[in-house]
Every structure is written in structure tokens, then in C-alpha cells.
Amino acid sequence: EAGVAQSPRYKIIEKRQSVAFWCNPISGHATLYWYQQILGQGPKLLIQFQNNGVVDDSQLPKDRFSAERLKGVDSTLKIQPAKLEDSAVYLCASSPHEESGRWHYEQYFGPGTRLTVT
Amino acid sequence: EDQVTQSPEALRLQEGESSSLNCSYTVSGLRGLFWYRQDPGKGPEFLFTLYSAGEEKEKERLKATLTKKESFLHITAPKPEDSATYLCAVRYGGSQGNLIFGKGTKLSVKP
């Protein structure tokens, strides 16, 4: 079974530039997550999709970050404009469909995109 | 206040020297405690899920246990290839299915 795919693996940009990350979840997984992992920290959720609808985006800095999941499969995360503090690894994860209120499936992570903002 | 706290931050062991990693949590209504392994430059790799106090799960040299306030990841006779960062995460009633991660424990096993 193919895992979660992400691209690019690495990206270096200057502050105030824009950048986009792409994620392809495990086939059949309805739920998709984007996490930000700063060096030495655990991953922090940015946004969660169930199919192509947003379940939770409470921690997404909406003035500069945006995400979409067209057709309930692939997803893109965009940062515009980038700040120095956005330097981190951006992880995408997916899990199977959850019945409302159950939430018991584990999440499977992709390799991440390492972003450096200079 | 952190909802998930892992200790120690770093642990250095000799090959064959057994030890335990700790994950304590303060959330209520636990819906699952998850252990992940993360190697440098890679995404977290799922290891275990524990749902209720008293539950135990094993995989090779790893054994995870859960109480009402914490979980332990026991490593028996570790090998150098067990070197990685081990992340603990919780899912609880108010988290919409999301995982709240600790900062991890970086384990180094020397031959």
C-alpha cells in the first residue's frame, strides 16, 4: 500500500515570498491533516479535512496560510507572505473515514516538507 | 500549560541497557494515546494506540502501557537501530479527532 506522498521535500524562500506544498493521502483515506513541526517540538495541527470539508482550522494563521482539498483527495497548503518563524517541517497525514464522534483511527504521516525562510 | 509532557527530553543508552520513556497527560475524556517513532528527516511512524488504563501493547523490543495519567514506553535490550525520537500524542473528547503531541524523547543507543 502506497503511503502519504508530499512534495517538494525541501524549499528555501525569502521572507515575504509565497510557497505551496502538495499532499496525496493514502488511497481511500477520507480525513487529511496538515501539521507544522518546528525543530525540537512535536507536530502541531494546522488544519483537518474530512473529504473536502474543513473540520478544524482553529490553529491555522488565516492571514497568511490557506489550504484546500479539491475533490476530497489531494490537498495543497499555501503560505503568503512567508515569515521567518514559518521555518519548519510541514507534515501531511491521513486516516480512514471516522464515524461521527468515534475518532479512533491512527494517522499515517508523509515524509514532510522542510521549509527554510531566510 | 502543556497537555502532553514527555520525559526525559533525551536519553542515551548502551546497547542492551533497558529503560523506559514517560508520557504524562492532563486532558480529560481520553479517546486514545498514540506512540510514534520519528527518524531524522522523516515523518512520524505509527507504533501503538492505547485506549484504556491497564492496556498494554508490544512490538519487538517495545512495550507500551497506559495508566489514568500517563503512559510508558519500555525498551528492552535496545539496539542502535532503535535510536530515534519517540513521540507521544493524545486524542480526547474535545479535540475533534486531532492529535495533541508532546515534544518527544530523543533516544540514542550506542553499540
Nearest to B96 among A4, A55, A112 (CB): A55
Distance CA A96, CA B84 (A): 27
Distance linking the first and last C-alpha atoms of chain A: 37
- Give pLDDT, residue B71: 98
10 Å CB burial of residue A46 (0-12, 13-18, 19+) is buried
Put simply, whether B59 touches A (Cβ < 8 Å) is no
In this predicted structure, what is the pLDDT of residue A101? Answer: 56
A44-101 per-position pLDDT tens digit: 999 999 888 998 999 999 999 999 998 889 999 999 999 999 999 999 999 987 665 5
Phi-psi region at B31: left, alpha or beta (left = phi > 0; alpha = psi -120 to 50):
alpha
Q: Which residue has the higher pLDDT, A8 or A72?
A: A8
Task: Judge: B97–A103 Cβ closer than 8 Å, yes or no.
Answer: yes
With DSSP H G I counted as helix, E B as strand and the rest as coil, what are the percentages for chain A, rounded to 5? 5, 45, 50
Q: Which residues of B touch A107 (CB under 8 A)?
A: 34, 46, 99
Which A positions 3-32 lie with beta carbon below 8 A of chain B? 4, 31
Question: What's the pLDDT score for residue A71?
Answer: 84
Read off the C-alpha cell for B61: 523490543
* Residue A103 confidence (pLDDT): 58
Q: How far apart are CA A106 and CA B78, in angstroms?
A: 25
Q: How far, CA to CA in Å, does B44 sit from each of A83, A90, B85, B110?
A: 25, 12, 9, 22
Say how far apart CA A74 and CA A22 lie, in whole Å: 7
Mind listing the pLDDT tens digit for each residue in A29-41? 989 999 999 999 9
Q: Answer whether B7's CB lies under 8 Å from B104's CB.
A: no
pLDDT (0 to 100) of residue A51: 85
Compare CB distances from A104 to B32, B42, B46 and report the shortest one's residue.
B32
Pairing status of strand A10-13 against strand B10-14: unpaired
Render each residue's pLDDT in chain B as its tens digit; 111 residues: 679 999 999 999 999 999 999 999 998 888 899 999 999 999 999 999 999 999 999 999 999 999 989 999 999 999 999 999 999 999 887 666 788 999 999 999 999
For chain B, what is the total number of helices (H) and then of strands (E)? 0, 11
Residues written for chain B = 111
Residue A70's pLDDT is 82
Mean of the per-residue pLDDT values for chain A? 92
Rounded to whole angstroms, how far apart are CA atoms B78 and B86?
14
